[in-house]
Structure 1
Amino acid sequence: MSAAAIHTFTALLLAHVLADFLFQTRWMVAHKRNPLVLVLHAALVLGLSLAALGGWSDWVLVLAGAHLASLVAVAVVAPGPWQAGAWAGLPWLLPLFALVAGLILTTRAGGFAVGELMAPYAEVDLPRGLEKGGLLIGLLERGLIFLFVLAGQPSGIGFLIAAKSILRFETASKDQRAGEYVIIGTLASFGWALALSYATLRLIDLLPPLETGPVHD
Structure 2
Amino acid sequence: MIAASLAALLLAHLLGDFVFQSTKMAEKKASGPLARRLPALARHMGVHALLLALLLPAPDAQGALAFVAILASHFLIDALKPRLRGTALRVFLADQAAHWLVICALALTLPDLWAHTLWMKTQSGLATYLPTVFALVAGAVLTVRMGGFVIGALMQPLAERAPQGGLPKGGQLIGLLERALIFVLILTGQPQGIGFLIAAKSILRFEAKGGPDHNAANEYVIIGTLASFGWAIACAYLTLGLLAHLPPIGIPALGIPQHSP
Instruction: Tell me the TM-score normalized by structure 2.
Output: 0.76
Pairwise CA distance, 1:80 = 2.1
Go from structure 1 to structure 2 and tell me whether the alpha carbon gap of 1:169 and 1:136 turns closer, same or farther (over 3 Å shift): same
Residue of structure 2 in register with 1:45 after alignment: 48
Q: Deviations over 1:63-120 (max 9, x none)?
A: 0142211111111111222111122241111111000010011001101000000000
AA paired with 1:8?
A: S
Q: Matched residue of 2:207: which SS?
A: helix
Measured in 2, the distance between the counterparts of 1:5 and 1:63 equals: 16
Q: Structure 2: any 5+ residue segments left out of the alignment?
A: 31-36, 75-98, 252-260
- How far has the Cα of 1:127 moved from its partner? 3.4
1:125 and 1:192 mapped to 2: Cα distance? 20
- Kindly indicate whether residue 7 of structure 2 is the aligned counterpart of residue 10 of structure 1: yes
Deviates more, 1:56-65 or 1:110-119: 56-65
8 Å contact 1:106–1:142 — kept in the other structure?
yes
Structure 2 residue 92 is the aligned partner of structure 1 residue 60: no
- The amino acid that maps onto 1:151 is T
Q: 1:205 to 1:162 in 2, by over 3 A?
A: same
Which aligned pairs between 1:99-114 and structure 2 lie closer than 5 A? Answer: 99-114=136-151
* Offset at residue 171 of structure 1 (A): 7.2
Give percent identity, aligned residues only: 47
Aligned match of 2:119 in 80, 83, 87? 87
Q: Quote the Cα distance in structure 2 between the aligned partners of 1:99 and 1:5.
A: 16
Deviates more, 1:147-156 or 1:61-70: 61-70
Contact 2:132/2:248, CA 8 A, preserved across alignment: yes
Q: How far off is 1:40 after superposition?
A: 1.8
List structure 1 segments (4+ residues) > 4 angstroms apart after TM superposition: 171-174
Q: Please say which of residues 125-134 and 109-118 is displaced more in the overlay.
A: 125-134
Aligned length: 210
Q: Which amino acid aligns with 1:181?
A: Y
Task: Map residues 115-130 of structure 1 onto 2, 5 A cutoff.
Answer: 115-130=152-167
CA RMSD of aligned residues (A): 1.8
Conserved 8 A contact 1:24-1:41: yes
What secondary structure is seen at the aligned counterpart in 2 of 1:42? helix
Offset of 1:44 from its aligned partner?
A: 1.5
Match of 2:223 in 1: 184
Q: Distance in 2 between matches of 1:54 and 1:108?
A: 25
Task: Give the counterpart of 1:136 among 173, 191, 196.
Answer: 173
Q: More displaced, 109-118 or 27-36?
A: 27-36
2:209, 2:182 → 1: CA distance? Answer: 23
Deviation, structure 1 residue 24: 0.7
Deviation sequence 1:152-190 (CA, Å, 0-9, x none): 000000111001110122177551100110110000000
Q: TM-score scaled to structure 1, two decimals?
A: 0.91
Distance 1:208 1:182 in 2: 40
Q: Distance in 1 between matches of 2:209 and 2:69?
A: 49
1:36 Cα deviation (Å)? 1.8
CA distance in 2, matches of 1:177, 1:130: 20
- Contact in 1 for aligned 2:162/2:220 (Cα 8 Å): no
Q: Which amino acid aligns with 2:69?
A: V
**In the alignment, is residue 148 of structure 1 matched against residue 180 of structure 2?**
no
Amino acid across the alignment from 1:76:
L
